[in-house]
Amino acid sequence: MSTTDRRPALAVGTEEPGQPVEGRSPWRLAWDRLRHDRVAVVCAVFIGLLVLVAVLAEPISMLVGYGPTQQDRTGGITTDGLPTPPSPHHLLGTDNLGRDILVRIVYGSQVSLLVGVGAAVAAVVIGVVVGLCAGYLGPAVDTVLARLMDVVLSFPFLLFAIALVTVAGPSELIEIAVIAFFSWAAVGRIVRGQTLAIREKEYVEAARSLGAGDVRIMFVDVLPNLVAPVIVYTTLLIPVSIVFEATLSYLGVGIIPPTPSWGNMISDSQNFYQVAWWFLVFPGLALVLTTLAFNLLGDSVRDALDPRTEFRGR
């Protein structure tokens, strides 16, 4: 890759000519790149709003006037017992039991964010610790842990996740555990590869000659150099976990009805989508927009943290 004709990444393009040159840390540079990335800002705002909606689910449902499992038997269901289309009473329509879809989507966002973020964070923590150990502690530990990661990665994971949830009984915590269990190995592999390279660096040798123990070197000298890929991976793992959760709920082994989750709403809609498009489209849209926002943000974060990326105000 030729870099000769490129402007150095330092020239972020925000400073006026003639201003004194100001030293900026790599984190500051990454932050500046991210701030000027319009797509990233839009996605971050969307995710911020979503978090707000999830936190304020109860006030919102009081404002709308219906609870998440409350059945509106008078205006929320036709005389044939079918869902009613969007109207001033039910802005996004109702489902087959006369429940307000807007309120259920709002409550569903709690599940998606909780399980999605929880599972991604858990997977990253496990993956980082196992990856560090595999990469740092030498060939014997490495062989065992690398083989373990191979086994986890070659599991038919959705099938096994279904089996696991059925045995353990569905709940949010079990869902987080199952998703994390099948996601950490990918993180572990990346961290292991990077650690193998970093442990040979001079500064690690220096730390060791100063008498630092293995644990200290792993977490104080090696880990900070892995923060960038780990942040990127976490952002990209969240949408994967959200989809995973929705899939489990869709297949009937996730969140137990009547508690709303986007997955079980879409599953309920499968028998009614021909007469009630809103029943399928709105929860589907919520799910797609959320994963899209996290994916785009993750992409931008990767670009921003990569020192080779040129700054361009997209």
Partner 1 sequence: MVRFLVRRLLTGILVIWLISVIVFGLYFVAPHNVATLLLGKFAAQDQQLVASVTHQLGLDQPIRVQYGHFVVRLLHGDLGYSYYSHQPVTTLLAQALPVTASLAIGAAIIWVTLGVLIGVLSATRPRSFLDRGATLFALTGLSFPTFVLGLLLLYFLFYRLHVAGVDFFPGGGYVPLTQDPWQWAVHLILPWITLAVATMAVYVRLTRGQLIETLGEDYIRTARAKGLRESRVTYRHGLRAALIPIATQFGIDVATLLGGVIVTEQVFGLNGLGRMSVQAVTNSDEPVIIAIVLLAAVFVVAANIVVDLLYAVLDPRIRLS
Residues that bind partner 1 (CB under 8 A): 1-2, 147, 150-151, 153-160, 162-164, 166-167, 239, 243, 246-247, 250-253, 266-267, 269-270, 273-274, 277, 280-281, 284, 287-288, 291-292, 295-296, 299
Nearer Cβ to partner 1 (66/182): 182
Nearer Cβ to partner 1 (67/170): 170
CB of 102 to partner 1, least distance (A): 18
Helices (H), the chain: 26-35, 38-55, 57-64, 101-136, 139-153, 157-168, 172-198, 202-209, 214-216, 227-250, 262-269, 277-305
* Dist. CA 49–CA 65, nearest whole Å: 21
Which phi and psi angles does 304 have, rounded to 5°? -70, -35
CB of 6 to partner 1, least distance (A): 12
Cα dist. 66→72, 78, 238, 301 in Å? 8, 17, 30, 39
CB of 168 to partner 1, least distance (A): 9
* Dist. CA 248–CA 172, nearest whole Å: 11
Nearer Cβ to partner 1 (180/222): 180
CB of 285 to partner 1, least distance (A): 9
Burial 26-46 (b: 16+ CB within 10 A, else e): eeebbebbbebbeebeebbeb
* Dist. CA 161–CA 155, nearest whole Å: 10
Nearer Cβ to partner 1 (136/181): 181
223 residue type, one letter: L
Nearer Cβ to partner 1 (57/287): 287
Nearer Cβ to partner 1 (30/246): 246
- The tokens for 153 are 């990665």
CB of 273 to partner 1, least distance (A): 5
| Beta-ladder partners of 100 | 94
CB of 178 to partner 1, least distance (A): 12
* Dist. CA 260–CA 153, nearest whole Å: 31
Nearer Cβ to partner 1 (66/244): 244
* Dist. CA 72–CA 61, nearest whole Å: 14
